[in-house]
Amino acid sequence: MQLVVARIGRAHGIKGEVTVEVRTDEPELRLGPGAVLTTDPASVGPLTIETGRVHSGRLLLRFEGVRDRSGAEALRNTLLIADVDPDERPEGDDEYYDHQLIDLDVVTKDGAEVGRITEISHLPSQDLFVIERPDGTEVYVPFVEEIVTEIDLEEQRAVIDPPPGLIDDRAEIASSRDAGDEA
């Protein structure tokens, strides 16, 4: 299975280094020296990582055969893709690869069917499950411990405990303005 692990940004300096937008929780495993990565577009790769370092909080990589700024700039916006065993699990017990979560059935803690996960949206603040409901509509559920209480890969399901209003219209609206209207 192939997973996107990074996107190449702009060139850094004049010796062929590039900035990298990391898209994996395991950059030391996927983006270490000697790693051979396929690319999108495919015509750019495969690329072999020669060196890597962190500079000002940003990962910088240099690839074999890329020795100058123009060569590095030509790689801009290229996706780096790692081959991963489909049975491989992340190191943490509560960590999952997107492909493990896609198509899981989603139910509430009391067993009510919500739908199935069709996509994981990775946002800066948190990840979201995009869930397709039986009627074809979508609902977005934050992938946080307080809401997603269980992931059972054996049973192919995710159990959620959503607050009122997240997946239904039973939200109670409380406003301090309402109290002032009665006076």
Name the band, by pLDDT with cuts 50, 70 and 90, for residue 73.
Answer: very high
- Is residue 66 within 8 Å of 72, Cβ to Cβ? yes
Q: How far is CA 97 from CA 7, 42, 106, 110, 112, in A?
A: 18, 23, 17, 26, 25
Structure confidence at residue 169 (pLDDT): 59
Going by pLDDT thresholds of 50, 70 and 90, the confidence category of residue 175 is: low
Q: In the chain, what are the helix, strand and coil shares in percent, each to the nearest 5? A: 10, 40, 45
Amino acid 42: pLDDT? 87
Give the pTM. 0.57
Confidence tier at 115 by pLDDT (50, 70, 90): very high
> What does the pLDDT read at residue 177?
58
